[in-house]
Structure 1
Amino acid sequence: MGTSRWRGLVNSGPRRPRAFTQDTAQVLAFDKKTRQLRYLPAGEGNGEVEPGVTWRGHVARGMLLCPATDCGLPFGRVVAGGARRHHFAHRPGEGEHDDVTGPETLWHLSAKDVLGRWAATHPSLADWTLHLDDTPITLPDGWRRPDVLAVSPDGVKVAFEAQYSALTGTDWKARHDFYAKAGVVDIWLFAHHGPQWRPATTRQRHRRELVWRDPDWAATVQLSGLHQTMLRHGVIPLWLDPTTQTIGTATTRVHPSNTSPGERLWEDSAYTLPPRRTFRACHVAADALQQCEVDLEAGELFTPARREQREEHQRLEQDEQAARDRASRHEERLQAEWDQHQQQERRRKDAERAAAEARQQIPLKEQFPPLFRQDPPPAKPPWWKFWPRRT
């Protein structure tokens, strides 16, 4: 089966939601009535925020405020037209946030709100207690306050960290070890913009593991030293797009090491796996947050992309084992043929040796009778043979 047919099989599956487009649309608003954040679902700008109350009407009455810490002004309208995602907008000349701190603070707030809403409604976390940025984890040598903390009835703790600012691999390792020492499962989600999101360069896209790309994969980004440190410790980097409520999983199209660079790649010669720690870039597979769940045994957020990676990893192990079995059988066959050849050579040499020994037991007179044959002397012709004839 060729590569083109394989791509057709990939495209025949369900398409993942479009995400990680670095959209700056504001989809969260602070409701003066409920004193809570309101999330505007995609395509619902013309709908109702609650029975009998539309989003547009709620905005017109000044009930929805901008949640950015440097703003707080009421939104002026709901943008619900065209191809862009439905979102809130300020009146012209109002609520102009700083390009660096404003959207980043807003998106971090959006990320925490999205994670809290997901944890509160997810079936696997139905009986868990949630804490949004208000419960620290303390140890004798320090403390950490996760963005979202989920606590099970039997005391299991899961900390969600939405990382939007720069962070080194050493600092992440220290925080990761802190949570491990405290017995807390830590799940890290990175921003879809800023220092945690840098598109891959053209040169990186030409690397072997990035040449093939699933059309449903959202983007191709660089892997920083922080991400490579995570991969070194068995943690797969994840990204969060709060605007579309989508989780991105680091993934690549990995080929077996025995495939030469010039060899044509067939369906069974590549596998969808997490990137290696030596990779400089990777693809991002996008999945809806509602399709994800917490895997306490593995200590990670289990996305559909991670499920596919695990299945592909099992397939890779099976194929590698099958290849080892084939190589072993081939080696055994070659060894058997060589042993048979050696045995035939030994039999031939043994036969020649036995024949030589047998010849040594035979007298030379019998071996070479012509050399020992004694012919009688020729008979003397009669005397008349020499008598001259009369003429």
Structure 2
Amino acid sequence: MDTPTSPGPAPGGPPRARAFTQDTAQVLALDKTTGTLRYLPAGEGNGETEAGVTWRSLIARGMLLCPMPGCGAPFGRVVAGGARRHHFAHRPGTADHDHGTGPETLWHLNAKDVLHRWAATCPQLAGWTLHLDDTRVLCQDDWRRPDVLAVSPDGARVAFEAQYSELTGTAWKARHDFYARAKVADIWLLAHHGPQWRPATPRQLRREELALHESAWVAAIQLSGLHQTMLRHGVTPLWLDPSTQMIGTATTRIRSRHTRARLEEDAAYTLPPGRAFPACHLAADPLEQCVVDLAAGQLLTPAGRVHHRDRERFEAGEKAALERAALLQARRDAEHKARTLRRRAAEQDKRRASAARAAEEQQAQQRREQEQRQRREQEEAQERAAAEARQKLPLVRQFPPVFEHETPAPARRPWWKPWRRRA
């Protein structure tokens, strides 16, 4: 099965394993001469910014200043050794600030600069005018100022928002609706630290959609109310690591409820998380490999392309599975109907046979009763004939016992028994 892997970072870039590690390395510096931000590419701390000019020489001349609001002190050195990413650093005691806090963190500044420089090289935005945090989007009586705004020659607009502060799903929905009313495509990139970044718990990691792990999946993140709201409105959450210029795409491994694994080569699909999922994986891809889908108004990452491909395969598999289920159900219905017809026919045959047996028994009973009546009639006729024949005979023959024996004399009572007169 295809996985959301990518060819890897650009030559000299950091490995994917370093992405989203919340490294606080300062990779931006403010050019003292031009007043613009300069980015230190990964692994280039000992290299040259241009022919004959190195990063270290600029640091030595004090030409690179700290872009942190309220600081502005020149950087004292370039850290270009060890396992950490190459970055700028102050000398001890020359600056006192925490670049992870404040009204606008260094990461946020870095994120806006990274997005601005990437948009300038994005083929889909070629010829567009780019505005870095200096242009308002107006709609009726409301306005918003996106971090990066790209405007095409024909008036189409794409807004890039790097969200580092806390944001609820309701507030995001209001901003998303505002951009929709203003006819501006809004692309949201979440911070890889703070309220937008909460690692998944061990219990969540045991869930089915998080059980598998690919090499391009660098972390497992809890899905907050903001993320769930974005998913409900068809927006896949994206995270930005400005230090490594990597984009993290919310990813899960989903199994079809209708597809049976024993019939399919692979029943799992790499898709965005479902609306009810508590956590998801992060598929990390280099920002330079991402494109802007102007038709959908979204940032399409390599992992997002895998999502689209797997979604088509998933929907095709679901459709085929549903068709198979419909055919199987139709076959079952036909078999059930045939069984029902056979059962009804058998019951009808049984009822007919029972009725025939009942009719035969009734006829047999009627024959027996008729025979009994005939026998009784014959016997009665014979008795009547015998009685008529006896009546025609003389009395002597009719009552032979009367005439054959004399009437015995009445018995005399003994003399010792008194005679009792009959009443």
Measure how far apart 1:341 and its partner are: 3.7
Q: Spell out the pairing of 1:1-391 with structure 2 (5 A cutoff).
A: 10=3, 14=7, 17-18=16-17, 19-98=19-98, 100-101=100-101, 105-257=105-257, 268-345=266-343
Return the alpha-carbon distance in structure 2 between the equivalents of residues 92 and 206 of structure 1.
45
Distance 1:75 1:13, change over 3 A: closer
Which is greater in Rg? 2
Unaligned runs of 5+ in 1: 1-5, 373-391
Q: Is the 8 A contact 2:99 2:105 kept in 1?
A: no
- Which amino acid is 1:141 matched to? D
- Which amino acid is 2:323 matched to? D
The normalised TM-score by structure 2 is 0.76
In the alignment of these two chains, the number of paired residues is 357
The normalised TM-score by structure 1 is 0.82
Return the alpha-carbon distance in structure 2 between the equivalents of residues 110 and 185 of structure 1.
22
Measure how far apart 1:271 and its partner are: 1.6
Q: Is the 8 A contact 2:8 2:285 kept in 1?
A: no
Return the alpha-carbon distance in structure 1 between the equivalents of residues 336 and 342 of structure 2.
10
Q: Is the 8 A contact 1:251 1:272 kept in 2?
A: yes
Unaligned runs of 5+ in 2: 10-15, 372-423
Distance 1:332 1:139, change over 3 A: closer
Q: Is the 8 A contact 2:68 2:99 kept in 1?
A: no
Measure how far apart 1:146 and its partner are: 0.6
Return the alpha-carbon distance in structure 1 between the equivalents of residues 335 and 182 of structure 2.
61
Q: Is the 8 A contact 1:70 1:102 kept in 2?
A: no
Question: CA deviation digits over 1:193-248, x for unaligned, max 9?
Answer: 11111111222222222222223211111111111111122211111111111111
- Which amino acid is 1:293 matched to? V
Q: Is the 8 A contact 2:32 2:65 kept in 1?
A: yes
Question: CA deviation digits over 1:281-305, x for unaligned, max 9?
Answer: 2111111111111112212111111
Q: Is the 8 A contact 2:5 2:303 kept in 1?
A: no
Q: Is the 8 A contact 1:15 1:216 kept in 2?
A: no
Return the alpha-carbon distance in structure 2 between the equivalents of residues 330 and 305 of structure 1.
36
* Higher alpha-carbon deviation: 49-58 or 14-23: 14-23
C-alpha RMSD of the superposition: 3.0
Return the alpha-carbon distance in structure 1 between the equivalents of residues 228 and 213 of structure 2.
21
* Higher alpha-carbon deviation: 94-103 or 222-231: 94-103
Measure how far apart 1:39 and its partner are: 0.6
Return the alpha-carbon distance in structure 2 between the equivalents of residues 275 and 12 of structure 1.
18
Identity %: 65
Q: Is the 8 A contact 2:231 2:275 kept in 1?
A: yes
Counterpart of 1:385 in structure 2 is none
